[in-house]
Amino acid sequence: MRACRIWPLRLWRGEGGVGSLEVAFMLPVLLAMLFGLVEFGYNLFARSTVEKAAQVGARFAITGEGFDTGNRLALIKEAARPLTQVLSGSSGTGVTILVRSYPNGTGAAAVENSGGDPCQTVEVQVDYRYAPLTPLVGSLLPAQITVTGRERMVNEPWAICK
């Protein structure tokens, strides 16, 4: 009779397999944190890259280069594109570069696909769309994530301001 009472207590006090049980409980949490960190890091990298590409494009836009030849818009986009190639490769898939100007100097009445005239405000916007990198965290996020960088500057007076 006494052996029957002690047997369940010996099973309860045994510590064999406790480590593997702890790993089984903690591994999914640690993997979720690791994948979340990877997603957050890539998003931060993409955000800083598109913001810098927009800054470079806007800095080129205010110089007025290409205004006389008519290829100014293409030159502005080409100034911003090399920085985005680290995100999308040489194909440029997922990256959109928009250029708009504001003739009255305020944020209203934007003219799309225009670098603007001298002394007008120009804005370069770089958008990058990508799918989440990791499947575990990616199932919690949207199928496509869009990261946007914008920069506004006032064009230099390379000709008489209007």
* pLDDT range class, residue 2, cuts 50, 70, 90: low
pLDDT tens for each residue of 31-50: 889 999 999 999 999 999 99
In sequence order, the β-bridge partners of residue 111 are 101
Q: Please spell the DSSP secondary structure of 54-114, one letter per residue.
A: HHHHHHHHTTTTTTTTT-HHHHHHHHHHHHHHHHHTTTTTTEEEEEEEETTSSSSS-EET-
Mean pLDDT to the nearest integer, 123-135: 92
Q: Which pTM value belongs to this model?
A: 0.81
Residue boundaries of the structural domains of the chain:
18-154
pLDDT tens for each residue of 53-99: 999 999 999 998 988 898 999 999 999 999 999 987 767 689 999 99
DSSP tally for the chain: helices H, then strands E: 4, 4
pLDDT greater than 70 at residue 8? no
Spatial CA neighbour of 49 closest among 87, 95, 75: 87
